[in-house]
Structure formats: structure tokens, C-alpha cells
Chains A and B, each alone.
Chain A
């Protein structure tokens, strides 16, 4: 007995935390971050004058902000081994309802509206998104319909509803004040819309990695049955995760209004796929249970940098989707091989 005890304590002295560096290199977040860095470096080396210009970077960041907010919500959904195809349509729906509400409150045209109206517009956008998210969540968790089908349904329905609301046309009359502050305004050179996206992203990252909510998100995606047996309410948790994704899509719709000065009803058909691609590129497993918001940030910027960079160095931008496709498929293949190797033990 004493013999086994000594071997035990010896084994456990080695049971300290793996060193930080080793943990980092073991995670594919690091590698995907390096890919992004290499891309920036390569484009920067070819055309340093055009790439490292403040306006180029500002524009790149601002354009990507809306997608980033969508992708943060998508990260949570995919970690539960779900999917949300509806985010782009919910974004359109929220931006239309919010623009219509602001116009309504200002007697038809909100161009000169004040902060009170803008706040109402924000509220309407967020609530619109939340309602779609809640609907998705309830159908997935209570009615047990596969998320792919549920959100394929709301993808069509939200888009259709948005078109119905304004007879299929864009809604103009976005308050100038909103556009000047959050659309084109900057703070020490950083576009304000980017700051908003960064705050959302940081909050999402903390929620996922440090809180019980995040832990349950991983647990549900990793083994739903195990989560249920330890007493986690899987149904409520899934509902909340889809609610979060919908709410963020609503916020993204409002950000789009601020940025484009109009609530556009077209052009968001592939937002869902872009967000999914970003999340998966960022190392989140499509099978659930693994992933990070930081990875998603890298995943959002890789396609964006590729697109901008290829244009700047004079390659036809049609190469961009092809390049993204290759990286995406490679990322999933890598994830699968790692998983298989791990599960064989």
C-alpha cells in the first residue's frame, strides 16, 4: 500500500499545468493567427505603401465589424454543435424594422432625428433579432427540429418578412447623427463601429471562456447526454444560445444602418455562410465542444484581408473565394484528423 501511495504522489507532482507556450502551440487558434499574420506580412511586403495606410486599415476594420458581431454569436451556436443559417436574414429584418421605427417616430423621415429616436431604433433592432433568435431556440430545443432546418426556415421567413414590411425596397432616412457618430466617426483613428464590435467581441470571449454559461455551451456541444445527466438544463441552454445569436444579429443590423445610412434588404444572403466560414476557419469545431472567440476574430479577418490584399496587389479578386475555400476545407480536415487521432486512444 505504501508503495502505491508513493508512486501516486510522484505521478501527481508532474500533474501541474501544462506550460503556457505548450498550451498555445497545441491550440489551432495560434496557427490560424499566424496564417493571418503571414497574409498581412506578404501583402504588406508587396505593397507597403497601399497596405499600411490608415484609410485602408480603417476601411477593412469597419467593413468587417458587422460580420464579426454575427460571427461571435455563431461561435456559440457552433460550439453547441448547432448551426444558424438565419443570421443574415435576421440582420436585414432588424435593420428594416429599426429604420422603419425611427422614421415612424420622426413623422416619416428620421434624417434629423435626435438620440432618443436613435435609442428606440437600437432597441427595436435588438428586440427584433432577439425574437427570431428565441423562435429558433425554442424550435431547436423544445420541438427538437434539427437546427439546420429550423434556421433554414427562419432564413427564408425573416428575409420575406423584411421584404413585406417595406414592399421589397430599402429603407432610407437613417438619422445623420447616428451615421456621423457610429457609421463614419472615429476615436483616435479607430472607427467607432469597430470599437462597438470590439466590445461585443471581448464580452463574447469572456462569456465563453470564463463563465458558467460558456462552460455549459462547451458541455452541451461536447456530450449533450452527459450535460443532461449532471443536471444542466440542455433545453434552456440551447434556447439561450440561439437567443444570443439572434440578438447579436439584431445589433449587427443596427450597426449596418449606421454604416451604410440605409437599411438594405439585399446583399446579406451569404452573411450566414461567411459567418460560419469565419467561425470554422478560426478553429471552432463544426462537431461542437471546441472553439474560441479569438479564433473567430482571426477567421473573420482572413477572408477580408485576402480580398483587400488581392485587390491591392492587382490579382483579380475572384481568386479570393477560391483561396478562402481552400483554407476552409483544410481547416476542417485538420480538425477532423486531430479528433480522430485523439479519440483513438
Chain B
């Protein structure tokens, strides 16, 4: 098998006296969809936050492309081609889709105007439209505030934004939670397309059939530890649920 793109070993994270992660490990390979599942409170969101720079782990090591990695901020992660779709979307509702897509990465006009900080709105809008088309986000209009879009469209903007900038890895924290059937299919489609471009996708989801249909591998967290790893093609919903609830365990469980 190829070398892991991202490997977390024995991560711990304490919030005061609460141990959210107790030696959690996690592996993602390039060009695969790996699902991270677990019951509520298993530490999925904490693990993702530690791996995308929002939080810093209390202990343990993270290897990225085989080298140790320390992330002090989300920017550190982004600089390395790691993007995240957060559960609560994190878009600016009053800005239009193009502005949201380029938020923090604005294109400036060439020459003197650009040096004065003047935005090249036309270029950003054009690239945003191209990009949304490529990832199947259909919007009636490119210049209305995001808040005027439906929940599904807002979600697809958030997803499209992160995959636009990810060159190595995308974390998606329940990207389909708020979506209707058609929109959900579209997002799953996007996930596969991103993977086919060689980018690793880490999917967090509670929907087991969805996990099995889109993933290459599944890793299971329970009580802040990785307790099992499966190949999606060789496992069943029952097995996953068993691992999540502790009825079945493969590794790490002390």
C-alpha cells in the first residue's frame, strides 16, 4: 500500500479535566475517501479540529507526508493544502457566493490598484462560476447574499469552497446533514470527484449507508480512541455499529 498522507498517532486532547481524545490514531491515504465514524462524544469533531489546526492536541504526534506536522492555526493547515468543511458551514451570510469562495484569498487587480488592495471582482466571479459548475453547485444567481440561498445551496457553496483550495486533503464534518436527497447525491458525487483528483477526503457522517456507499475505508472512534478499521467493501452496517457501540473491537482498546 502507498505511504499514508496523514497519520495521527496516540493523540490526546484534554479540556480541563475532560479527556476528549485518549490516544486516538487516524490514517488517511492519498486519493481515498476515509470515513471517520463514532457515537456522539466519541471525539470525531475534536480529532478533526486537532488535525486542521483549529485546536492543538495535548499530546501525540501527527505525520503529514511522512514528516512531523505541528499546526498552530487553520492557516498552517491551509498552507499545506488541507481544507475543512465545518459542520456549521462557516460562511459569511451577507456576502455572495463568489465573495465567500474567495474570502481570505481575494484576487487583487493587477498593478497599482492591486497594491492599494483593490479587488478584481470580475475575475473572482468568473472563476467562482467555473468552479461551481465543475462541482455541480447550481445557484440561480451568483450575486445574491448566501443567506438568500436555500440550505442545500449554502452547503454546496461551503463544500465547493473547500475543495477549490484543497490540494491534499479535505475534512468534511457532516457535509450532508442538512441536505435533501438530490443535494446529498450531488455532494457525494463531489466527494468522489475530489478523490479521483488524488485528494484525500475525510468524511464524518452518522449515516451508515452513505458511509458505506462513498468510502474506501472506515475508521471507528470510541471514547477518544480508534477502535476499528474496515475496508468499506468488506464490511456491513451491523459491523460498523458494533464497533461504534463497543460490541466489537479490533485494536487499541485497553
Give A contacts to B, CB under 8 Å.
4, 8-9, 11-12, 14-18, 23, 210-213, 215, 218-219, 221-223, 225-227, 229-232, 288-290, 339, 342-343, 345
Contact = CB atoms under 8 A, between A and B. Distances in A.
Interface string B17-36: 00000000000000000000
A17 B92 contact: no
Nearest to A212: B117
Given A15-B129, A231-B104, A232-B104, A289 B93 contact: yes
16 contacts: A12-B133, A17-B125, A210-B119, A215-B95, A218-B99, A222-B92, A222-B94, A225-B88, A226-B103, A229-B90, A230-B103, A230-B105, A231-B73, A289-B93, A289-B94, A345-B147
Contacts of B150: 345
Nearest to A4: B136
Nearest to B113: A210
A75 to B, nearest CB: 15
Contact of B136 (A8, A213, A222, A232): A8
B48 to A, nearest CB: 13
B154 to A, nearest CB: 9
A17 B106 CA distance: 19
B69 interface: no
Interface stretch (B138-146, B214-222, B245-253): B138-146
Interface of B: 54, 73-75, 78, 84, 86, 88-95, 99, 103-106, 108, 116-119, 121, 125, 129, 132-133, 136, 138-145, 147-151
Contacts of A339: 147
A195 to B, nearest CB: 22
A4 to B, nearest CB: 7
A343 B103 CA distance: 21
A226 B91 contact: yes
Nearest to A341: B148
B92 A218 contact: yes
Given A14-B140, A218-B92, 15 more contacts: A8-B136, A11-B140, A12-B132, A15-B140, A210-B118, A211-B117, A212-B108, A212-B119, A218-B95, A229-B54, A231-B74, A232-B103, A342-B145, A343-B93, A345-B148
Given A15-B129, A229-B86, A223 B119 contact: no
A222 B96 CA distance: 11
Contacts of A12: 129, 132-133, 138
Contacts of B144: 18
Nearest to A289: B94
Main secondary structure of the interface of B (DSSP, over half): loop
Contacts of B118: 210-211
Contacts of A229: 54, 74, 84, 86, 90
A14 to B, nearest CB: 7
Contacts of B99: 215, 218-219
A210 B120 CA distance: 8
A187 to B, nearest CB: 27
Task: Across the A-B interface, give the 3 residue pairs with the lowest CB-CB distance, nearest first.
Answer: A230-B104, A289-B94, A222-B92
A8 B104 contact: no
A15 B119 CA distance: 21
B91 A223 contact: yes
A297 to B, nearest CB: 21
A9 B103 CA distance: 25
Contact of A213 (B78, B84, B117): B117
Contact of B147 (A210, A215, A230, A343): A343
B133 A226 contact: no
A223 B91 CA distance: 7
Contacts of A4: 136
A18 B141 CA distance: 7
Contacts of B116: 211
B114 to A, nearest CB: 10
A231 B78 contact: yes
A215 B94 contact: no
A211 to B, nearest CB: 4
A15 B141 contact: yes
Contact of A15 (B93, B95, B139, B151): B139
A37 B132 CA distance: 41
B93 A223 contact: yes
A211 B103 CA distance: 12
Q: In this complex, which of B119, B125, B129, B139 has the most chain A Cβ atoms within 10 angstroms of its Cβ? A: B119
B34 to A, nearest CB: 23
A223 B99 CA distance: 13
Contacts of B93: 222-223, 289, 343
A27 to B, nearest CB: 11
A33 B141 CA distance: 26
B133 A9 contact: yes
B134 to A, nearest CB: 9
A17 B139 CA distance: 12
A33 B142 CA distance: 26
Contacts of A288: 94
A21 B8 CA distance: 54
A238 to B, nearest CB: 15
